[in-house]
Amino acid sequence: QVQLAESGGGLVQAGDSLRLFCEASGRTGSTYPMGWFRQAPGKEREFVAAISGPGGITYYADSMKGRFIISRDNAKNTVYLQMNSLKPEDTAVYYCAADPWATGWATGEEKYYDYWGQGTEVTVSS
């Protein structure tokens, strides 16, 4: 079993930056491919970014490319999401998730992610 805990959310202004953290604990959680997703009020959850187990391969949703950066430090069992030039439409609850079988993490599809955190809320004011 893997436990994931997000942190780092908060209230910021448009144009600001924010760094989210996802700490993994439990069974080899630090080596799984990981993803970030988000769910805005009244909308379905959507893919944000994903990173391979070793950290050398990353994928992003088109709308996040160039603004968001996913990274990880396996020694600290932590995955990061650096969010720059934030916009009001980035307001959402952000979730991290783990794909323990490493089968479909790069597709961005939720069905491949078996473990999820509780989410951290990000609010961007205009």
| Tens-digit pLDDT profile for residues 17-70 | 999 999 998 876 568 999 999 999 999 999 999 999 988 899 999 989 899 999
Distance between CA atoms of residues 100 and 61, nearest Å: 21
pLDDT of 116 > 90? The answer is yes
DSSP 126: -
Q: Which residue has the higher pLDDT, 81 or 2?
A: 81
101: confidence class by pLDDT, cuts 50, 70, 90: confident
DSSP string over 18-60: EEEEEEEEETTGGGS-EEEEEE-TTS--EEEEEE-SSS--EEE
And the tokens for 121?
A: 């809320």
- The pLDDT tens digits for 59-90 are 999 989 899 999 999 999 999 999 999 999 99
Structural tokens at position 36: 């970030």
Four-residue CA torsion sign, 96, 102, 104, 105: positive
Please report the pLDDT score of residue 29 as a whole number: 56
Which residue type sits at 48? V
